[in-house]
Amino acid sequence: MGRISAFLGIILYMYPEKGGKHNKPHLHAFYGDEECEISIPDGEVLAGSLPARQLRNVQTFIDLREAELMLNWNLCMKGQDVIWIDPIR
């Protein structure tokens, strides 16, 4: 598991999930007591939920940082440490 970024009260993680429940590269977003799994290629919600504003912020982050997120996804799937990604401002 690796914390990859945090901004506006949202914390993003990636977990190694070989053979996991999602076939798409994705991240886990936490905001308070809520959790959401969001696809990296398209920002689709795969599971869970976040308040609308926080979901839009994560989807914007994905749009702006897709290359870095995919690099982290590949590292994570190889069991390697993920790299911190600077938050959006």
* Spatial CB neighbours of 75, under 8 Å, sequence gap ≥ 6: 81, 82, 83
| Residue 29 confidence (pLDDT) | 97
Of the pLDDT bands very low, low, confident and very high (cuts 50, 70, 90), residue 79 is confident
| Residue 70 confidence (pLDDT) | 96
Instruction: From residue 23, give the alpha-carbon distance in Å to each of 8, 83, 85.
Output: 28, 22, 23
Query: What confidence tens digit (pLDDT) does each residue in 8-59 have?
Result: 999 999 987 666 666 789 999 999 999 999 999 999 999 999 999 999 999 9
